Amino acid sequence: MLDETKFLPALKLREITLEVPLDHTEPQGRKIEVFARIVTGEDGANKPFLLFLQGGPGNEDPRPALYPNPNPNWLPRALEDFQVVMLDQRGTGRSTPVSADPTTGALAGLDATAQAEYLTHLRADEIVNDAEALRAYLGVERWTLLGQSFGGFTSVHYLCSHPEALAGAILTGGLTAVGHSIEDVYSETWQIMTEKSEKYYREFPEDRDKVRRVAELCAEGKLTLPNGDTVSPERWRTVGITIGMQGGMQRLHNLLDHDPLSAAFRHDLGAALPFGGRNPVYAILHESSYADGVATRWAAERTMPAEVKQDPTLLGGEHLHRSLFLEDSELSGLREAADLVADHVWNRLYSAEALAAAQVPVAAVAYFQDAYVPLKFSLETAQMMADCRLWVTSEYEHNGLRQDVRVLDRLIDLLQGRIRQ
């Protein structure tokens, strides 16, 4: 265990590394490290704690700063009311990281079966267990959650499993489906991405032919990334993830302004594709985020509508294809483990009854046409909660928290009762 204090301009950072069980049901088993920073402003020593749960899964928390530019942008607003706890979720950042490189990281030296077994312990339930271990170490009676996207999913499980630990919860694009099959979720997100694709072509009609041409080059094996990986039509389709984010349509249009065989296009495409070796947990465990008591069995691929299969200009979002683990040179070493994880039957995370019983105030924003967390399911989940103060808006996309500090400002006001519904 390490506990150190460091300073940045106008910030105090308390950096904590805890040893926790890989499997919290087996406390004497294999141990891993979990890292967190407590970020405090100049006058924040006695303020309550806000635990930030990052989106993903598989991404570490932002590295905090106020100068020259705030990171994340909402940090100054949060510090007005809270000390902010930034947790590197297990497998990411400085929390015993998982690497796609078979010689380094937590999976090094393990065969595919052991790799898959390890990866099954990186989901929301164990993240919540880690958070509870950190809360106990800090001696905090209750804290407030800020859950973005997958962090919101994790927060919903937290509400189900440990409501006594929570003073409140703020969810941004994180009201996950409860009581729906994984097929329901992916079918809905495919439909949303089809609508977003058509909206994109209304905005940039000349780009439809450009997208079609890139898909044809992919089918012919002529499009490669700077590392030499050939991009399949299935992987190219995932570039649509960008149009589910604020400003994403312009970014995709800018990408397509380059010749698809140019170095500029290949480099920019590599940066735009969502799944890769930088965060292998995201590729392997993303589908498990929607699996409540079932195996995923490559759900996005299974639920792809016929019209999408037939039309290469209809883009996907977080719609992973099994072939990614064959064509990506970094992820290919995990392909056997990924197949085993896809067949793993996950435990249940959510309960409508538990949500109704949790007497915890929740302030949540749901985005009108969220590409990754469908509004129709978010509305249902909000209704299950004992006290959910829901804000539905079409002003922002899924990344609204990162785009405009007013999002967090409004949600804090909702949570603290300064805005009445």
In this predicted structure, the answer to whether residue 421 has a pLDDT above a threshold of 70 is no
Q: Two tokens at 332?
A: 């290919």
As a whole number of angstroms, the distance between CA 229 and CA 413 comes to: 48
In this predicted structure, the answer to whether residue 103 has a pLDDT above a threshold of 90 is no
What is the average pLDDT across 82-104? 95
pLDDT, tens only, 405-416: 999 999 999 999
Contacts for 305-313: CB closer than 8 Å, 24+ residues apart: 305/187, 305/190, 305/191, 305/194, 307/194, 308/190, 308/194, 312/211, 312/212, 312/215, 312/216, 312/233, 312/237, 313/197, 313/201, 313/208, 313/211, 313/212, 313/215
Helix (H, G, I), strand (E, B) or coil at 181: coil
Please, how many CA atoms are within 13 Å of residue 200, restricted to the half-sphere of its CB?
A: 32
Q: Two tokens at 387?
A: 């006290």
To the nearest whole percent, how much of the chain has pLDDT over 70?
Answer: 100
pLDDT, tens only, 108-162: 999 999 999 999 999 999 999 999 999 999 999 999 999 999 999 999 999 999 9
The average confidence (pLDDT) of the chain is 96
As a whole number of angstroms, the distance between CA 35 and CA 88 comes to: 6
pLDDT, tens only, 332-378: 999 999 999 999 999 999 999 999 999 999 999 999 999 999 999 99
Amino acid at 243: I
Which run of H or E residues covers position 86? strand 83-88
Label residue 287 by pLDDT band (50, 70, 90): very high
Query: Phi, psi (5° rounding) for residue 218?
Result: -65, -45
Say what the pLDDT of residue 420 is.
74
What is the gyration radius of the CA atoms in the chain, in angstroms?
21
As a whole number of angstroms, the distance between CA 121 and CA 126 comes to: 6
Domain boundaries, the chain: 2-89+123-179+350-415, 182-342
What's the CATH class of domain 2-89+123-179+350-415? alpha beta
Say what the pLDDT of residue 402 is.
94
Contacts of 45 (CB under 8 A, 6+ apart): 83
Q: Which residue has the higher pLDDT, 419 or 172?
A: 172
Enter the pTM of the model: 0.96
pLDDT, tens only, 22-62: 999 999 999 999 999 999 998 878 999 999 999 999 999 99
